[in-house]
C-alpha cells in the first residue's frame, strides 16, 4: 500500500477562498490529478478517507469545500454517524446552502479548482479526472462540459437530478463533453427517476460521448457514504472498482 500524505490547502477563487483537502502519495512524485466533489453533507473525515484511498492508488486528489461561501468546513455541525433521527433538522440547514450554489457559481469555482491542480507541483501535466457523489455527480457533469480540454474522465455515483426538464439541467452539457463518463446510479432513487436515467443516456449517446451508465441493484441513494445509514457495502465496492478502472484507462 502506497503511503499517503494529506494536507489542508486554500484555493483562491473569484469569490474568495475555498478551503480544501489534498491527498497524494507521500513520495512527492507528481501524479495525475483527480478533483473529488462532495455530497451535500460536505467535506468531513469520510471524504478525506475516500481521497486517501484514491491517493494510495496513485493519484493526487483535491476535495474542495464547495460551500466555502458559507464558511470553512465543516459548514454543518454533523454527527459522527448520519442517521434518520438527525436528517430532518440537518436538511433544513443544508437545503438553502445547496440551492445557493447555482450552476454558474459551480462552473466558475470549477475553473479555480482546475487551475489550482494545473499549477500544483504534486500533479502531472495533462488533463485530470473528476468524480462526484450525490450533488457532486451534478458538479462533475457540469465540470466535464465546461472544461472539455482539461477533463479526460468524469464519474458520478448516486447522483440526483442529473437530467431534469429545467433549462439548466446538467445533462445538457453533453454536447460539449470530450471526457469518458461513468455513472453508477442508485436503484429506486427518488432524486433520479427512470425518465431521467433514460434522458441522460439519450443525451450522452446523441452527443457521441464515451460513457457507461449502470444501475446498482438495491443500492440506496448515498450508498458510498460509510458514515451514513445509506451505506451499502456491495455498491461501494462496485463503485471503487468502476472508478479505478476508469481512471487507469483515461489518465
CA 91, 96, 101, 103 torsion: positive or negative?
positive
Which residues does 194 contact at the CB level (< 8 Å), separation at least 6? none
Which stretches does DSSP call E strand in the chain?
A: 4-13, 16-25, 33-37, 60-64, 128-133, 151-157, 180-186, 211-216
User: What does the pLDDT read at residue 2?
Assistant: 86
Residue 239 has pLDDT above 80, yes or no: yes
Residue 1 has pLDDT above 70, yes or no: no
Distance, in Å, from the CA atom of 232 to the CA atom of 210, rounded to the nearest integer, reads 28
The domain spanning residue 21 has which CATH number? 3.40.50.1820
In the block, residue with C-alpha cell 458538479: 139
Q: Residue 92's CB: how many other CB atoms inside 10 A?
A: 9
User: What does the pLDDT read at residue 88?
Assistant: 85
pLDDT band of 81, cuts 50, 70, 90: very high
What is this structure's pTM?
0.98
How many domains is the chain partitioned into structurally? 1
- Reported as a single tens digit per residue, the pLDDT across 88-147 is 889 999 999 999 999 999 999 999 999 999 999 999 999 999 999 999 999 999 999 999
**Helix residue ranges, H only, 65-123:** 87-100, 103-119
Distance, in Å, from the CA atom of 212 to the CA atom of 182, rounded to the nearest integer, reads 5
What is the extent of the structural domain holding 157?
4-250
Q: Do you find a cis peptide bond into 158, omega within 30 degrees of 0? A: no
Q: Which of 60, 145, 61 is nearest to 111 (CA)?
A: 145
Which residues are catalytic, by number?
134, 189, 221
Q: Residue 109's CB: how many other CB atoms inside 10 A?
A: 23
Residue 36 has pLDDT above 70, yes or no: yes
Residue 51 has pLDDT above 80, yes or no: yes
% of the chain with per-residue pLDDT over 90: 96
Which cell numbers hold the place of 185?
Answer: 446510479
Which cell numbers hold the place of 195?
Answer: 425518465
Amino acid at each position: 500500500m502506497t503511503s499517503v500524505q494529506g494536507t489542508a490547502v486554500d484555493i483562491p477563487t473569484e469569490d474568495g477562498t475555498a478551503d480544501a483537502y489534498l491527498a497524494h502519495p507521500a513520495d512527492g512524485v507528481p501524479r495525475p490529478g483527480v478533483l473529488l466533489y462532495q455530497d451535500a453533507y460536505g467535506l468531513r473525515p469520510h471524504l478525506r478517507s475516500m481521497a486517501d484511498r484514491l491517493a494510495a492508488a496513485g493519484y493526487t486528489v483535491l476535495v474542495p469545500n464547495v460551500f466555502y461561501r458559507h464558511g470553512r468546513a465543516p459548514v454543518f455541525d454533523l454527527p459522527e454517524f448520519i442517521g434518520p433521527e438527525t436528517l430532518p433538522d440537518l436538511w433544513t440547514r443544508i437545503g438553502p446552502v445547496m440551492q445557493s450554489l447555482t450552476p454558474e457559481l459551480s462552473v466558475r469555482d470549477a475553473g479555480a479548482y482546475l487551475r489550482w491542480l494545473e499549477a500544483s507541483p504534486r500533479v502531472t501535466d495533462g488533463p485530470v479526472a473528476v468524480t462526484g457523489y450525490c450533488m457532486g455527480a451534478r458538479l462533475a457533469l457540469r465540470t466535464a462540459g465546461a472544461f472539455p480540454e482539461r477533463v479526460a474522465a468524469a464519474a458520478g455515483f448516486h447522483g440526483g437530478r442529473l437530467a431534469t426538464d429545467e433549462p439548466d439541467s446538467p445533462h445538457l452539457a453533453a454536447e460539449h463533453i470530450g471526457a469518458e463518463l461513468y455513472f453508477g446510479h442508485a436503484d429506486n432513487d427518488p432524486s433520479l427517476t427512470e425518465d431521467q436515467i433514460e434522458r441522460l443516456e439519450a443525451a450522452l449517446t446523441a452527443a457521441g460521448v464515451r460513457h457507461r451508465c449502470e444501475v446498482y441493484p438495491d443500492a440506496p441513494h448515498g450508498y458510498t457514504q460509510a458514515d451514513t445509514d445509506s451505506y451499502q457495502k456491495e455498491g461501494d465496492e462496485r463503485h471503487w472498482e468502476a472508478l479505478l478502472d476508469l481512471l487507469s484507462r483515461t489518465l
